[in-house]
């Protein structure tokens, strides 16, 4: 193919395993002599579709110029340079590659090419930037059977797939939440078992090994290892975006549930995170918002996805998930026995700066109340922030700090000792709160900041269970005292937040995206 024109109508791809460098992007070196009959080359027509905007900058870093004869001529490198200029993604891809540039060798999603078996699933090949062999295999080789454990028949039987109907294959982020983590996604996907849906936990290996119909992401910021340093984070972000782009090219649709407007603890990587977010948003096919007010905020914050189709699916409740068992953590028993009979306010969840925990302790000390304040959760953030929380808790009378991850077996007991849950998050720091839904699920009233999304929650549950405050944490404590004294029903009505209902609504979103 030496000197081939970029406009060539076909790309010849030959089979054969080789340990040679993956820079031989399209045609690997000849296979070792074998008694088996050789597999003929396959000619794959070039589609006429142009490269996807936003990912063109990948071409500048894929070393296409070193393999110009193999990927369609010397014009590849110049096109890569021209497309990458000015792209929001251009700083991300320095040193990433090699893999074929989308305009040099764009392959149809179902082309049958003899696979490089180890390249398809190897962690070694997917550990850093994807190799050419791996990515060519991803783009061209159909997955036969279930490569992630068990036969397709066994998998479909376990997931209650309807006979005679092709199930939707879903790759879902955080579908396999473990003890101590928020079970929101676990409960959501459990409700899909009888709806002809096959859910797999999201991973890069799954993006390679499966041909998903839907990719469902909740927290894009968790897809990249931001703490690895700027250069490694850029490489990791590039790899993640490349694999998402390739999965979408094979027919997958990307759905984002917008829990917040961005990461609570923004990675210290300069503009890289913003550029990753912009590139991710450019690939989103459908949005799920947890409330109408949140959808308005998301579209205002990200104008680029203002016209993307969206659905409203509320945050499901946790009723019945946490067992009513006695406390096992020694800190819970100490807090319960410290001032028996006194009002107890609780803030539960990961302790992060945006949750305004230190401000709450400061105002709690100034009120001079005879109540006690229990703060339970793992401290997340810098060592300086951790010391600030520990010091403030130690010097504030009436404060009981449990700076540990709370096991599922202790969640019910922790809330059972509280009268009111106080969540004094900083203004504009969060759209939603899983801790608020958890408290209501366990029959505890909550005090939250007055925001449009919390007004939506109050409209569903009622003002006798959701009190709104403006101002400082001292105002939140005042609202908590009033809420504690107010009469209310034995439990809030959370029927609109039933996980089975939210699961059906989410599946309807999947089908709408799949059929679009």
Q: What is the pLDDT of residues 108-120, one digit of tens each?
A: 333 333 333 333 3
Question: What is the average pLDDT across 40-44?
Answer: 35
Backbone angles phi, psi at 77, to 5 degrees: -65, -40
**Cα(354)–Cα(377) distance, rounded to whole angstroms?**
14
Residue 254, pLDDT score? 98
Residue 356, pLDDT score? 94
% of the chain at pLDDT higher than 90: 53
* Domains by residue range for the chain, with CATH: 10-139 (no CATH), 152-316+500-515 (3.40.50.2000), 330-497 (3.40.50.2000)
Question: What is the average pLDDT across 307-330?
Answer: 94
Question: Taking 90 as the threshold, does the pLDDT of residue 37 lie above it?
Answer: no
Residue 180, pLDDT score? 56
Question: Taking 80 as the threshold, does the pLDDT of residue 40 lie above it?
Answer: no
Tell which residue, 499, 496, 438, 494, has the closest CA to residue 192: 499
Residue 497, pLDDT score? 96
Strand partners, 25: none
Q: What are the tokens at 10?
A: 């076909």
Q: What are the tokens at 33?
A: 């002599």
Q: What are the tokens at 88?
A: 């929001």
Looking at every residue in the chain, the average pLDDT score rounds to 75
Q: How confident is the model at residue 131 (pLDDT cuts 50, 70, 90)?
A: very low
Residue 331, pLDDT score? 86
Q: What are the tokens at 156?
A: 């479909």
Question: What is the average pLDDT across 143-164?
Answer: 44
Q: Give the number of other Cβ atoms within 10 Å of residue 486's Cβ.
A: 12
Tell which residue, 217, 298, 278, has the closest CA to residue 89: 278
Strand partners, 170: 199, 214
Residues ≥6 apart with Cβ < 8 Å to 426: 354, 355, 356
Q: Exposed (0-12), middle (13-18) or buried (19+): which is 470, by Cβ within 10 Å?
A: exposed
Question: Taking 80 as the threshold, does the pLDDT of residue 430 lie above it?
Answer: yes
Question: Taking 90 as the threshold, does the pLDDT of residue 60 lie above it?
Answer: no
Residue 228, pLDDT score? 86
Residue 119, pLDDT score? 36
Question: What is the average pLDDT across 356-370?
Answer: 91
Q: How confident is the model at residue 166 (pLDDT cuts 50, 70, 90)?
A: confident
Q: What are the tokens at 16?
A: 């054969």
Question: Taking 90 as the threshold, does the pLDDT of residue 390 lie above it?
Answer: yes
The mean-pLDDT minimum among 44-58, 290-304, 389-403 falls in 44-58
Residue 341, pLDDT score? 77
Q: How confident is the model at residue 177 (pLDDT cuts 50, 70, 90)?
A: low
* Beta carbons of 240 and 224 less than 8 angstroms apart: yes
Listed ranges 164-168, 176-180, 467-471; the one with the highest mean pLDDT: 467-471
Of 384 and 123, which is predicted with more confidence? 384
b/e map of 10-44 (b: 16 or more CB within 10 Å)? ebebbeeeeeeebeebbbbeeeeeeeeeeeeebeb
**Residue 434: CA atoms inside 13 Å, Cβ hemisphere, count?**
11
Which ranges of 46-176 would DSSP assign to H, the alpha helix? 68-71, 75-84, 117-121, 123-127, 132-140, 152-158
**Cα(63)–Cα(71) distance, rounded to whole angstroms?**
11
**Cα(213)–Cα(513) distance, rounded to whole angstroms?**
9
Strand partners, 446: 421, 466
Residue 469, pLDDT score? 96
Question: Taking 80 as the threshold, does the pLDDT of residue 506 lie above it?
Answer: yes
pLDDT tens digits, one per residue of 256-313:
999 988 887 666 777 899 999 999 999 999 999 999 999 999 999 999 999 999 999 9
Question: What is the average pLDDT across 238-246?
Answer: 96
How distant, in Å, are the alpha carbons of 148, 154, 284, 367, 510 from that of 209? 7, 17, 21, 58, 21
Of 18 and 184, which is predicted with more confidence? 184
Residue 163, pLDDT score? 56
Residue 364, pLDDT score? 94
Of 492 and 98, which is predicted with more confidence? 492
């Amino acid at each position: 193919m030496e000197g081939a024109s970029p406009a060539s109508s076909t790309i010849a791809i030959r089979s054969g395993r080789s340990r040679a460098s993956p820079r031989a992007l399209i045609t690997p070196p000849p296979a070792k002599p074998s008694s088996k009959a050789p597999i003929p080359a396959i000619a794959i027509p070039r589609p006429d579709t142009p490269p996807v905007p936003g990912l063109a900058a990948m071409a500048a870093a894929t070393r296409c110029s070193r393999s110009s004869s193999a990927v369609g001529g010397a014009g590849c490198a110049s096109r890569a340079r021209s497309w990458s200029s000015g792209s929001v993604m251009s700083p991300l891809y320095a040193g990433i590659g090699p893999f074929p540039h989308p305009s040099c060798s764009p392959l149809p999603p179902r082309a049958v090419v003899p696979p490089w078996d180890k390249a398809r699933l190897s962690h070694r090949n997917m550990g850093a930037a994807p190799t050419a062999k791996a990515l060519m295999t991803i783009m061209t080789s159909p997955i036969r059977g279930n490569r992630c454990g068990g036969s397709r028949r066994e998998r479909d039987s376990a997931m209650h797939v309807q006979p005679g109907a092709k199930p939707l294959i879903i790759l879902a982020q955080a579908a396999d939440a473990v003890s101590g983590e928020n079970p929101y996604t676990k409960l959501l996907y459990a409700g899909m078992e009888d709806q002809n849906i096959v859910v797999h936990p999201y991973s890069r290996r799954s993006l390679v090994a499966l041909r998903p119909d839907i990719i469902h992401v909740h927290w894009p910021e968790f897809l990249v290892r931001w703490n690895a340093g700027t250069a490694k984070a850029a490489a990791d972000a590039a790899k993640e975006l490349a694999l998402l782009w390739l999965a979408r090219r094979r027919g997958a649709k990307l759905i984002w549930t917008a829990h917040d407007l961005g990461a609570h603890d923004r990675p210290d990587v300069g503009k890289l995170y913003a550029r990753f977010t912009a590139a991710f948003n450019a690939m989103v096919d459908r949005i799920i918002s947890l409330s109408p007010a949140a959808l308005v905020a998301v579209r205002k914050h990200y104008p680029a996805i203002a016209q993307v189709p969206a659905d409203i699916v509320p945050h499901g409740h946790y009723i019945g998930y946490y067992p009513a068992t006695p406390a096992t953590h020694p800190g819970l028993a100490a807090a319960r026995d410290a001032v028996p009979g006194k009002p107890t306010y609780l803030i539960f969840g990961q302790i992060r700066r945006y949750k305004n925990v230190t401000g709450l302790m400061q105002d709690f000390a100034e009120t001079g109340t005879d109540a006690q304040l229990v703060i339970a959760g793992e401290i997340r953030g810098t060592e300086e922030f951790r010391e600030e929380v520990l010091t403030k808790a130690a010097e504030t009378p009436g404060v009981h700090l449990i700076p540990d991850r709370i096991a599922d077996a202790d969640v019910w007991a922790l809330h059972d000792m509280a009268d009111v849950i106080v969540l004094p998050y900083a203004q504009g720091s969060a759209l939603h709160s899983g801790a608020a839904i958890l408290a209501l699920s366990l029959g505890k009233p909550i005090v939250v900041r007055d925001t449009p999304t919390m007004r939506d929650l109050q409209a569903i549950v009622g003002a006798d269970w959701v009190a709104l405050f403006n101002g400082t944490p001292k105002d939140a404590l005042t609202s908590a005292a009033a809420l504690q004294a107010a009469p209310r029903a034995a439990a809030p009505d959370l029927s609109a937040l039933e996980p089975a209902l939210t699961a059906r609504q989410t599946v309807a979103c999947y089908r709408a995206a799949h059929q679009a």
